[in-house]
A and B are shown apart, each in its own frame.
Chain A
Amino acid sequence: MSTPPVYVLGGAQTDFARNWTKEGKHFIAGMREATVGAMESARIEPREIETAHVGNFAAELYAKQGHLGAFFVDIDPAFSGLPTSRHEAACASGSISILAASAEIEAGRYDLAAVVGIEQMKTVDPATGGEFLGTAAWYEREAKGIEFPFPKLFGRLGDEYDKRFGLKDEHLAHIAAVNYSNARRNPLAQTRNWFMSEAHAQKTSKYNTVIGGRIKVSDCSQVTDGAAVIFLASAKYAAEYAKRRNLKLDSIPRILGWGHHTAPIEFGAKVAESRDNPYVLPHTRQAILDAFRRAEIDSVWDLQGIETHDCFTTSEYMAIDHFGITKPGESWKAIEEGVIEMGNKMPINPSGGLIGAGHPVGCTGVRQMLDACKQVTGAAGEYQVEDARKIATLNIGGSGTTSCAFVVGK
């Protein structure tokens, strides 16, 4: 028996350049704005929403507040009594929320779900924020007492590539430059007005200091306040939705495939486990392959673009071969040939990704799905990929620990 389809009706996100703390805002303001904006954009009435899932990593730390699912109810009186929940899987929290909501749709429990991704991060100084992010690793073993543990962990990912295949930092610099360049075309990207050049990204300098290992400031994603909301629907609701708007049902995108795998949490254990595997993070590779299989696509070349998890340049470097754009260890070839750039064979992160668009941790998976939806409906404006019919997303929690991949298309 085939799985019932899950439709993506669109949504909205906040401007990732904002600083909610400077605005004197509680995160509920961002959640409210994104939800109201998403309902306006998708033309959905509050009373139509039957369930809500909130992805968030660490509001307990950043905002001293748990129980985020309950905050959705505060947005509109019509939401009182709505079943809601919050999901956490570090930087993959957003995708885990999508999986939970889509499972409910597939099970026939509900016909219309709101999925919220949200994180408020600018409440603390960078060092404290780095400490909080360390709880996405095995904190006691990998983060406690270490300044900025995550850049160091993803520096080790680069080191592992270097050891197995060789890695030149100039290729990482190119990844940074491409993401910043893409972000300039995204009106909601955090870095849309920031300066970046490959020369700047290549050199360690006063303004581009080393954060940990081979990771410099330019290799890092951003500290971001942000919220994104998408709506997932059953075939029954989507058919009514399409009819009311004079749309064809097949013009509405669906989640065509998904993959979800969790690796050992310690980075050292991951690397030890994959020693004899062609892929450095085989569980991430498997999540991608599962999404491809469920979407009934043969390879990455059936896609027109990818929104991937570039929390650091090394994670995008990893994604290039794990998606199968190159053979394992040869991501540099795709970089040198320009394959990943806009207008070429496989644009990666048209939005600017986590480096360019921003990385509000628990929001990212939902933002990626929203961008994938914009691409396949031709609504991505200046960062539209030409003739985008199928777009994949890859969202990773921890140091390659929780991997979620989706294929979105029509």
Chain B
Amino acid sequence: MATQDDDLLTGPVADPETEPTPAELAHARRFAELVDKTLSGRTPPAMSADDRALLEVATVIRATHGSLELAPGKQRSVVEDALRQAIGASPASSGSVAPIARARARRWAPWAVAGGATLVAAAAVAMLWLRAPGGGELRSARRAAVPEEWTSRPADALVGPIARDHAGDASARLDTIFADRLDGFRSLRLARGGKP
């Protein structure tokens, strides 16, 4: 299906003497104003696609007849932006341009830091993984080196099976366990000469 753009851009063009329709008259006036603005260097950023296509024609014709040059100020700005873009810096930033090697180093610095951190994390995980069995053995050896009464241990041997009719004597059982633990604490304390 032909669109309005197709008609405008590729459809037949009337002869110069043909009377324009009101729609064409309005469009022609709008286009003339766009050309006005473009000639004075104020091309509006927003316009219809077909207007833009026609304006491109006007610009190409002007460019090939040497009417369009890059202003010296604009040229300096573009060159400066390009140099900064090449080294990955913001165009708005100021200061002199860094040499390529330094600039590249600056560009890759965040990736290098991230990569280094990842390597360190991976090494830590690997170390934990490899040392886990050895650590368990060490802990068993240390546990075996102290008397049993100094270690945490089950209280089953002290309390024994709890008969149903003694189920409410919990405080007595706690007293028994506390006395046993206190005894172990005293032994440990006295073994060090009373020092904590």
Same complex? no
